[in-house]
């Protein structure tokens, strides 16, 4: 009878377990179909915005939309200690189970039944990944759902993928998500460079990230770290000697230096163009030197002057330096990006208008252009010096930035054609640019940005081929757009070269002692904007000087305010280049004829020299001069002189010879005297 009772009891127990197993299998099958798999939309692994210079140093860092720092990295770059520590303390059978650990689950079930509440979750790393991807309150139901999802997840992913994801999304205290953000913050090193004790401390944090923060609760953090090391020893990940050494290590947290500098405007511009971040083309050394150069020159300019700069590597069309504001700490103007602000360029567009005229086949640098008073529907433009020079060559008119010749050239070639050229050069002009700018286009009638205008000058360095500015190392090199012929660019570069057309500050230097670069200045109406831009074939550089609020100042003259900045940039910031050869004459197929009234030759005339000259001598040069007209007065470099004999003495440098008659009419010659190189006898 006793054996019958025992057998009956075993049969009932077997029936009970069989029924439970059947119900469990049925629940598993139903749940498998009803519970959707967890989805990774990428938000948990999206890297926090990080804009870097070309050497990988941060230009700008910003947390994600949820105020968390995330810097996901591949598992193979996490080093050997961190993955081992995590598996030892969080999921000892991770490498062998299918997403759910049956042994741990059985143990947890009995513990939870005994305590009548959830005291042990038996969560595997895979289950934790599912929970972090889709957080939910901690209940038996959510545990069951996490288990189903974990089984499904491991059917589609390898163990390395699960471990890598866990290590990239787990919380590590403060607002740190992922092992790299934690490693850099707490210890100042990459995960692969962590010592065993440091890796163990980080592996222990996700259990209770805030309670175990080593900066606030170092004792709790150390106790948890030692527990992790014990688990690593038990599971065979480390030996007794390594365990003992790590246990003895004190906790040394990384001291972050106080960040005093405010991110440059270039970082915010890069973030706007690529919200996901990336490595830019910015050269940090050149960026720093450009900012220092601006600070140096602000000492000679009126107090409160603002400035901006752009430097482009023309070979790759990469932006390598950009300063948007001279004082980032200024609460008002410091956050303005002067490199992208739209401002009136004054005469800085003239090279491209002359280039358009040369491309038409109707003009060349030798073409005569009238510089006389004109009236266009009540608009009577004048030159900067308030006088007119009669007939001048296109080369001389461009070099001296005469307004009326530029306006007449724009009129002759057509405003719409010039606007089309400017658009090809990458300038963002309004849809009604032709009507809005009109002939005033020649004197700054349309606003442009320093960044785009500097890139337009880079086009002249690339023999007329325009390409968008590259800001990131992985930006594709797009096929360039042909705007000007190489011959047109060669003449513009030659006529505006520093050797014959020196910016302020270089006047006293013999032409060949100056670094070679072509350049042009611009001054907007009311002296609100001063520009100087140019290139030396390898680098295109642009500077803007003014007030961000648009207030004018008599000191804001392009040649005087921005020109010295440009001269110093080409002298000190970038390598010098070998000057290009002199270009061959441009052929004019269909010469343009101006109104005879404008072409009428009246006023004085310089007979000798008959044209602009570039002379070479060992010391001073004695230039023969001869003129004709009534009531003549001679001027050299702006100073009147009495012609004593038939020659004038010219020291090495650039000289402007002007002949003015009694009616104020004038004729002009530009003469450059170069210091001859002394040969060495052998």
Alpha helices in 35-124 (DSSP H): 81-90, 102-115
CB count within 10 Å of CB 464 equals 23
Contacts of 138-145 with CB under 8 Å at 24 or more apart are: 140/112, 143/118, 144/31, 145/31, 145/35
pLDDT tens-place string over residues 641-668: 887 777 888 888 888 888 888 777 778 8
Q: The tokens of 502 are what?
A: 């020196």
What distance in Å separates the CA atoms of residue 465 and residue 665, rounded to the nearest whole number?
Answer: 41
Residue 2 clears pLDDT 70, i.e. is over it: no
What distance in Å separates the CA atoms of residue 193 and residue 172, rounded to the nearest whole number?
Answer: 18
Q: Which of 100, 98, 101 lies closest to 159 in space, CA to CA? A: 98
pTM greater than 0.75 = no
Residue 369 clears pLDDT 50, i.e. is over it: yes
pLDDT value at residue 329: 74
Q: Which of 576, 575, 577, 572 lies closest to 290 in space, CA to CA? A: 572
The yes-or-no answer on residue 584 being catalytic is no
Alpha helices in 205-250 (DSSP H): 218-234, 240-248
Structure-token match 């020109």, residue found = 563
CB count within 10 Å of CB 505 equals 16
* pLDDT band at residue 617 under the 50/70/90 scheme: confident
Min mean pLDDT across 192-206, 261-275, 490-504, 627-641 is at 261-275
* pLDDT band at residue 28 under the 50/70/90 scheme: low
What distance in Å separates the CA atoms of residue 527 and residue 522, rounded to the nearest whole number?
Answer: 10
State the Cα angle at 418 between 414 and 420, rounded to 5°. Answer: 115
In CATH terms, the fold of domain 68-248 is Penicillin binding protein transpeptidase fold (1.10.3810)
Quick one: angle between helices 179-186 and 159-169, nearest 10?
40
pLDDT value at residue 39: 64
Residue 111 clears pLDDT 70, i.e. is over it: no
pLDDT value at residue 680: 39
pLDDT value at residue 476: 87
Residue 681 clears pLDDT 50, i.e. is over it: no
Q: Which of 48, 52, 71, 90 is catalytic?
A: 90
Rg (CA), the chain: 38
Phi, psi of 559 (to 5 degrees): -65, -40
* pLDDT band at residue 114 under the 50/70/90 scheme: low
Instruction: Indicate the domain borders of the chain.
Output: 1-34, 68-248, 602-675
pLDDT value at residue 27: 53
Contacts of 141-149 with CB under 8 Å at 24 or more apart are: 143/118, 144/31, 145/31, 145/35, 147/99, 147/100, 147/105, 148/28, 148/31, 148/32, 148/35, 149/35, 149/37, 149/38
Alpha helices in 569-641 (DSSP H): 596-599
The yes-or-no answer on residue 90 being catalytic is yes
Residue 62 clears pLDDT 50, i.e. is over it: yes
Sequence-distant (≥ 6) Cβ neighbours of residue 329 within 8 angstroms: 262
pLDDT tens-place string over residues 280-313: 999 999 999 999 999 999 999 999 999 999 999 9
Residue 569 clears pLDDT 90, i.e. is over it: yes
pLDDT value at residue 11: 59
**Highest mean predicted confidence (pLDDT) among 163-172, 327-336, 418-427:** 418-427
Q: Which helix (H) or strand (E) holds 296?
A: helix 284-298
pLDDT value at residue 61: 78
What distance in Å separates the CA atoms of residue 337 and residue 308, rounded to the nearest whole number?
Answer: 8
pLDDT value at residue 53: 87
Confirm if 91 and 81 have CB atoms less than 8 A apart.
Answer: no
In CATH terms, the fold of domain 602-675 is Immunoglobulin-like (2.60.40)
3-state secondary structure (DSSP) of residue 27: helix
Averaged confidence pLDDT in the chain: 86
Higher pLDDT, 613 or 541: 541
pLDDT value at residue 419: 97
Tell me the pairing of strands 666-675 and 306-313.
unpaired
Q: Which of 48, 123, 318, 347 is catalytic?
A: 347
Q: Is the peptide bond before 609 cis (omega within 30 degrees of 0)?
A: yes
Q: Which of 322, 332, 328, 325 lies closest to 306 in space, CA to CA? A: 325
Phi, psi of 482 (to 5 degrees): -75, 120
- Mean pLDDT within 362-378: 90
Return the percentage of the chain with pLDDT > 70, whole number.
Answer: 86
């Amino acid at each position: 009878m006793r054996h019958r009772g025992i057998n009956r009891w075993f049969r009932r127990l077997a029936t009970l377990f069989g029924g439970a197993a059947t119900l469990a299998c049925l629940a598993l099958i139903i749940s498998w179909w009803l519970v959707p798999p967890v989805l990774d939309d990428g938000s948990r692994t999206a890297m926090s915005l990080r804009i870097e210079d070309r050497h990988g140093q941060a230009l700008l860092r910003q947390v994600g939309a949820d105020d968390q720092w995330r810097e996901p990295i591949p598992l193979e770059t996490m080093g050997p200690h961190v993955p081992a520590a995590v598996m030892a303390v969080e999921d000892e059978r991770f490498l062998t189970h299918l997403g759910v650990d049956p042994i741990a689950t059985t143990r947890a079930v009995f513990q939870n039944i005994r305590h009548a509440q959830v005291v042990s979750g038996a969560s595997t790393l895979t289950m934790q990944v599912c929970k972090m991807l889709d957080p939910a309150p901690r209940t038996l139901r959510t545990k069951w759902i996490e288990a189903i999802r974990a089984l499904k997840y491991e059917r589609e992913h390898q163990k390395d993928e699960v471990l890598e994801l866990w290590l990239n999304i787990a919380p590590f205290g403060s607002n740190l998500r992922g092992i790299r953000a934690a490693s850099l913050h707490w210890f100042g090193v990459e995960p692969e460079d962590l010592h065993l004790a440091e890796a163990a401390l980080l592996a222990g944090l996700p259990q209770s990230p805030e309670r175990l923060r080593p900066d606030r609760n170092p004792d709790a953090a150390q106790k948890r770290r030692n527990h992790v090391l014990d688990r690593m020893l038990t599971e065979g990940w480390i030996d007794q000697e390594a365990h003992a050494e790590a246990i003895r290590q004190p906790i040394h947290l990384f001291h972050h230096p106080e960040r005093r500098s405010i991110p440059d405007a270039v970082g915010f511009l890069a973030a706007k163009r690529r919200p996901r971040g990336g490595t830019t083309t910015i050269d940090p050394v050149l960026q720093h030197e450009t900012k220092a150069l601006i600070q140096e020159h602000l000492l000679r300019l009126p107090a409160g002057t603002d400035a901006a700069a752009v430097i482009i590597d023309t070979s790759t069309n990469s932006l390598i330096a950009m300063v948007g504001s001279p004082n980032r700490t200024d609460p008002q103007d410091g956050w303005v990006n002067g490199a992208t602000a739209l401002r009136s360029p004054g005469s800085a567009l003239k090279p491209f208008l002359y280039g358009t005229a040369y491309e038409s086949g109707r003009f060349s640098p030798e073409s005569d252009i009238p510089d006389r008073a004109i009236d266009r529907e009540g608009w009577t433009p004048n030159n900067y010096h308030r006088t007119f020079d009669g007939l001048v060559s296109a080369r001389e008119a461009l070099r001296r930035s005469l307004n009326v010749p530029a306006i007449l050239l724009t009129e002759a070639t057509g405003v719409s054609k010039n606007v089309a050229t400017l658009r090809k050069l990458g300038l963002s002009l309004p849809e009604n640019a032709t009507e809005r700018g009109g002939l005033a286009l020649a004197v700054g009638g349309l606003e442009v940005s320093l960044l785009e205008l500097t890139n337009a000058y880079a086009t002249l360095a690339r023999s007329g081929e325009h390409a968008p500015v590259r800001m990131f190392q992985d930006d594709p090199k797009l096929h360039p757009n042909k705007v000007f012929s190489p011959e047109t660019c060669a003449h513009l570069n030659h006529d505006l070269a520093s050797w014959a057309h020196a910016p302020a500050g270089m006047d006293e230097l013999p032409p060949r002692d100056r670094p070679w670069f072509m350049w042009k200045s611009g001054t907007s109406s009311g002296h609100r904007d001063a520009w100087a831009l140019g290139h030396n074939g390898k680098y295109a550089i642009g500077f803007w000087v003014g007030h961000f609020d648009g207030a004018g100042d008599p000191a804001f003259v392009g040649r005087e305010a921005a020109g010295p900045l440009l001269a110093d940039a080409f002298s000190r910031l970038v390598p010098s280049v070998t000057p290009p050869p002199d270009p061959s004459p441009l052929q004019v197929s269909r010469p343009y004829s101006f109104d005879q009234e404008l072409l009428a030759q009246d006023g004085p005339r310089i007979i000798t020299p008959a044209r602009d000259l570039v002379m070479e001598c060992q010391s001073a040069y004695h230039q023969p001069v001869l003129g004709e007209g009534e009531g003549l007065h001679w001027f050299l470099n702006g100073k009147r002189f009495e012609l004593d004999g038939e020659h004038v003495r010219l020291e090495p440098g650039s000289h402007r010879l002007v002949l003015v008659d009694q009616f104020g009419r004038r004729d002009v010659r530009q003469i450059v005297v170069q210091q001859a190189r002394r040969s060495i006898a052998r």
